[in-house]
Amino acid sequence: MKKLGHSFYQRDAEKLARDLVGTILVRRVRGRECRARIVEAEAYLGPHDLASHSSKGRTKRTEVMFGPAGHAYVYLVYGMYEMFNIVAGKTGGGQAVLIRAAEPLNGWKADLSGPGKLTRAFKITRDLNGLDLTGDTLYLVYDPDYRPRTRRAKRIGVEYAREWKNELLRFYDDRSTAVTHRFRP
DNA sequence: GCGTCGATGGCA
DNA sequence: GCCATCGACGCG
């Protein structure tokens, strides 16, 4: 299976979010390796998208969102949960994809059915903010043998985003049990 | 199964 | 004063 390179991430966030469903996330920490299949992802389109952090402009927090694609954007929400995003599109575009859920592989038992649970299990914290995802500690691989049944729906937890709250920018694998039942249309 | 609520800290 | 959340609790 092939590691995803920078060119894969340089597509627009909406397309990247769809294409990331079914790929495999790999985490290496202290000689151990964890793998999981991504089953849910959300696109955040840039400064014009009121749900996107980049709509607040370029700040210390959002800086990496405006950086090159294929890097990790990790931030803290509700004082206790880290969110793992992948920067997408052209440099300066402020686009990213939030990884919301995954299914553990290789006999690994873990509940990855939510963005906060996923980062906890993968030990993804803010010290990985800005990390190049084509390196060895956190990266993705393409699985040519898996064909997800991908559906799209509204994003979660963006009620504040006015008309943008209704955009169908969340993509999930309909075959996965890790996508919470209540988040299905 | 569902609605409600509190935890907890960085940010503008 | 918000949050790109989660888990505990009460219901009947």
Q: How far is CA A102 from the centre of its chain?
A: 10
3-class SS of residue A147 = coil
Verify if strand B has an atom below 7 Å from the CB of A78. yes
Verify if strand B has an atom below 7 Å from the CB of A182. yes
Verify if strand B has an atom below 7 Å from the CB of A79. yes
Verify if strand B has an atom below 7 Å from the CB of A77. yes
Which of residues 115-154 of A have CB within 7 Å of strand C?
Answer: 115-118
What's the whole-model pTM score?
0.97
Verify if strand B has an atom below 7 Å from the CB of A80. yes
Q: Mind listing the pLDDT tens digit for each residue in A7-27?
A: 999 999 999 999 999 999 999
Distance, in Å, from the CA atom of A146 to the CA atom of A92, rounded to the nearest integer, reads: 33
From first to last of the 185 residues of chain A, give the pLDDT tens digit: 899 999 999 999 999 999 999 999 999 999 999 999 999 999 999 999 999 999 999 999 999 999 999 999 999 999 999 999 999 999 999 999 999 999 999 999 999 999 999 999 999 999 999 999 999 999 999 999 999 999 999 999 999 999 999 999 999 999 999 998 889 98
For the beta carbon of residue A126, count every other beta carbon within 10 angstroms: 13
3-class SS of residue A181 = helix
Which pLDDT score, from 0 to 100, does residue A55 have? 98
